[in-house]
Amino acid sequence: MLLLKRDSYDGEGIESAVAAIFEYFGGIENFVSPGSRVLLKVNLVAGHRPDRRVTTDPSVVRAAARLVLDAGGHPVIADSPGIDGFARAAQKAGFMDVAGELGIPCVELTDPVPLPVAPDASFHKIEVARRVLESDLIINLPKMKTHAQMLLTLGVKNMFGCVVAQRKAEWHYNVGLRREVFASLLLDIWNGIRSACGAGILTIMDGVIGMDGFGPTGGNPFPYGVVAGATDALTMDFRLCRMMGVRLEDYPLWQAAALRHMPQCDPDEGDLAGDFSAEHVWKGLDIPRLDSLSVLPVLSRLPFGKILEQALTSRPVHLPDRCVGCGKCAGMCRAGAIALRGTTLSFDYGKCIRCYCCHEMCPANAIEFRDGLLRKAMKFLRK
Ligand code: SF4
Ligand code: SF4
């Protein structure tokens, strides 16, 4: 993998970084032939301006699209935001402007079809957007962020956006509280898509200014100063995890991969090139420290285990001063745990599965967390 130092989106630095990533992996002709259908999978979790650092910066998307066009390919900018209307979200994030400038489509991922998965996959009824499976190459363009539920959202997690719209929330609901199970789903999606697409997935990570704290939407901008490129996003995620100061053992994605004995779990120090050493660590990062039920796997088998789980985990709470009454949280909560009247919101914690989607999708940062008993105990023990 290649890590290049870039501190700004201005000037030609982004274009040169994206070009250098293609060169590092043998040149763009290794990936794109004349007529190739290339899907640029941006991070459009919801409609935010680029300076919020929630979505992939348009300069990264533009640079990748231009190279594909120069090679004779047909790039399409695409994603499926969790809740906001696609056109408005893509406009706000600057993707529509890039598409207009280059004369290429910017489209919502729709039309779910079954994803072929390996026999040893954990999930066998995954559906992703048809356009994803009909592409010759996916250029995966994630934003480098921390994540309130999954600790980090990097290359592999960005492919979850290939699951169409509200079906994402259904997965959160079906998989429930267990992060390592959700991480296992992410592995199946990433594995399945990279096997299905002819030239696979090339990941180009926008970490120039990413996010820390309560990502993927409610955190703060953080200047990682990096553009990263990898043909194996899982290896990249694990290396970046360590460089973000997080122990691999604490990362749900690593836990899921370790259960499958995946070779990427032990990143090879020899495969790193560019401007950062393997020992580099970004200092001062605010990593969300939520309680993890993976330390208590027997809970769900106990009588009253579900009640116990819910008491132990952090719960969403409403901040009415910030609420604009848009109703997005209630509209997307698959558990039916949110009742909203104007800007007055109440949670049914008996129904709430702690998927944190409402927090993720709230455009006003009006949903935060109140520590559960497990988190309180961990804080107490750390004193
Ligand atoms: S209330 Fe929020 S955290 Fe609870 S199930 Fe609904 S969307 Fe998920
Ligand atoms: S809490 Fe957030 S998502 Fe829910 S109604 Fe208020 S502003 Fe909208």
Which has more pLDDT, 288 or 39?
39
Atom of ligand 1 nearest to the CA of 355: 8
Which has more pLDDT, 173 or 253?
253
Report whether pLDDT(383) > 50.
Answer: yes
Whether 44 is in the pocket of ligand 1, judged by its Cβ within 6 Å, is no
Residue nearest to atom 7 of ligand 2 (CA): 323
Atom of ligand 1 nearest to the CA of 354: 3
pLDDT value at residue 82:
72
pLDDT value at residue 1:
95
173, 318, 338, 359, best to mutate for ligand 1 pocket (most atoms within 8 Å of CB): 338
Cβ-contact 41, 141 below 8 angstroms: yes
pLDDT value at residue 54:
96
Report whether CATH 3.90.1150.10 matches the domain 293-382.
no
Report whether pLDDT(293) > 60.
Answer: no
For the chain, the average pLDDT equals 89
pLDDT value at residue 350:
85
| Mean pLDDT calculated for residue range 165-184 | 77
Domain boundaries, the chain: 2-274, 293-382
pTM for the predicted model, two decimal places: 0.83
Dist. CA 377 → ligand 2 center (Å) = 30
pLDDT value at residue 133:
96
For residue 216, cis peptide bond before it (omega within 30 degrees of 0)? yes
pLDDT value at residue 304:
61
Dist. CA 96 → ligand 2 center (Å) = 26
pLDDT tens per residue, range 66-99 = 999 999 999 999 999 876 789 999 999 999 999 9
Q: What architecture is domain 2-274?
A: 3-Layer(aba) Sandwich (3.40)
pLDDT value at residue 295:
42
Report percent pLDDT > 90 for the chain. 68
357, 362, 370, best to mutate for ligand 1 pocket (most atoms within 8 Å of CB): 357
Report whether pLDDT(314) > 90.
Answer: no
Whether 353 is in the pocket of ligand 1, judged by its Cβ within 6 Å, is yes
Which has more pLDDT, 366 or 120?
366
Report whether pLDDT(106) > 90.
Answer: yes
Tell me, letter by letter, the H, E, C secondary structure of the chain: CEEEECCCCCCCHHHHHHHHHHHHCCCHHHCCCCCCEEEEEECCCCCCCHHHCCCCCHHHHHHHHHHHHHCCCEEEEEECCCCCCHHHHHHHCCHHHHHHHHCCCEEECCCEEECCCCCCCCCCCCEEEHHHHCCCEEEEECEEEEECCCEEECHHHHHHHHCCCHHHHHHHHHHCCCHHHHHHHHHHHHHHHHHHCCCCEEEEEEEEEEEECCCCCCCEEECCCEEEEECCHHHHHHHHHHHCCCCHHHCHHHHHHHHCCCHHHCCCHHHCEECCCCCCCCCCCCCCCCCCHHHCCCHHHCCCHHHHHHHHCCEEEECCCCCCCCCHHHHHCCCCCEEEECCEEEECCCCCCCCCHHHHHCCCCCEEEECCHHHHHHHHHHC
